[in-house]
């Protein structure tokens, strides 16, 4: 064969196939990806700089396909909207999260969302020096809950005698129901604390 008239590969095709692979639940790898593309592993290196670059490609593809962009608006509505949009995105690719979790965020679309967030918080009256930290908290939250989506149905399994925990767990929800409920409570808590913080430290009439 060698070089065909029309290319078999492109970064987009690679990114899509890689996402498919990860979403299918099989372990991600260059070889498995090549199989899925009916191509030799070495072919991939004509388009991409190796395994890590493919992971980065997947992240970008996920963001551009599955992150609902949130328009500028007052922070009270914006904050939950951004958190829910991120969670919807992560929920579509839970298996990807552990792969991308320790890499720097440079994706323009994500940065833009954080910029809109930063602007809304400043305009809402939060002290400029706190805004980056607040976004950090929201980000840690989003990632923590993203991982929650990737984790097993029974997050905790007490093997020992407990006073309260085991008893409460028995009546509690599991799986998606639990995960959604916890997330919504988390959002409520965040919003409530932002209101309280603004009342304490906010700038009047921003």
* 122, 128 contact by CB (below 8 A): yes
Cα(40)–Cα(32) distance, integer angstroms = 10
What, of its own copies, DNA, none, does residue 105 touch, CB below 5 to 8 Å by kind? its own copies
Report 103-132 residues binding its own copies (CB under 8 A): 103-106, 108, 111-112, 114-115, 117-119, 122, 128-132
Q: Choose which of 12, 20, 24, 46 interacts with DNA (CB under 7 A).
A: 46
* 81, 137 contact by CB (below 8 A): no
In the complex, what is the shortest distance from the CB of residue 97 to DNA, in angstroms, rounded to a whole number?
18
Q: Choose which of 12, 20, 24, 52 interacts with DNA (CB under 7 A).
A: 52
Q: Which of residues 50 and 136 has its CB atom nearest to its own copies in the complex?
A: 136
Q: Which of 18, 126, 98 is nearest to 62 (CA)?
A: 18
In the complex, what is the shortest distance from the CB of residue 121 to DNA, in angstroms, rounded to a whole number?
39
Residue 162 makes contact with DNA by CB under 7 A: no
Residue 168 makes contact with its own copies by CB under 8 A: yes
In the complex, what is the shortest distance from the CB of residue 87 to its own copies, in angstroms, rounded to a whole number?
11
Residue 25 makes contact with DNA by CB under 7 A: no
What token pair was written down for 71? 């328009």
Spell 75-94 as b/e; 16+ CB within 10 A means b.
beebbbbbbbbbbebbbebb
Q: Which residues contact 18 (CB under 8 A, 6 or more apart)?
A: 28, 33, 54, 55, 57, 58, 61
What token pair was written down for 156? 């905790």
Residues that bind its own copies (CB under 8 A): 98, 101-106, 108, 111-112, 114-115, 117-119, 122, 128-134, 136-137, 139-145, 147-148, 150-152, 154-160, 162-166, 168-169, 171-172, 178, 181-182, 185-186, 188-190, 192-194, 196-197
């Amino acid at each position: 064969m060698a070089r065909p008239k029309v290319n078999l590969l492109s970064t987009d095709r690679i990114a899509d196939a890689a996402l498919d692979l990860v979403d299918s639940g099989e372990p991600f790898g260059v070889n498995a990806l090549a199989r899925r593309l009916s191509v030799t592993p070495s072919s991939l290196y004509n388009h991409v700089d190796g395994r890590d670059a493919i992971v980065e490609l997947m992240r970008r593809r996920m963001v551009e396909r599955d992150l609902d962009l949130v328009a500028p608006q007052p922070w009270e509505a914006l904050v939950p909207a951004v958190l829910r949009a991120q969670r919807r995105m992560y929920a579509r690719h839970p298996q990807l999260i552990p792969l991308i979790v320790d890499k720097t965020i440079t994706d323009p679309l994500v940065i833009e969302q954080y910029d809109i967030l930063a602007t809304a918080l400043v305009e809402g009256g939060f002290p400029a020096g706190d805004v980056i930290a607040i976004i950090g908290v929201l980000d840690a939250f989003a990632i923590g809950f993203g991982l929650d989506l990737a984790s097993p149905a029974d997050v905790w399994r007490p093997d020992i005698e407990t006073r309260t925990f085991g008893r409460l767990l028995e009546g509690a929800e599991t799986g998606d129901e639990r995960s959604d409920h916890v997330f919504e409570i988390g959002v409520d808590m965040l919003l409530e604390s932002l209101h309280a913080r603004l009342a304490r430290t906010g700038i009047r009439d921003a």
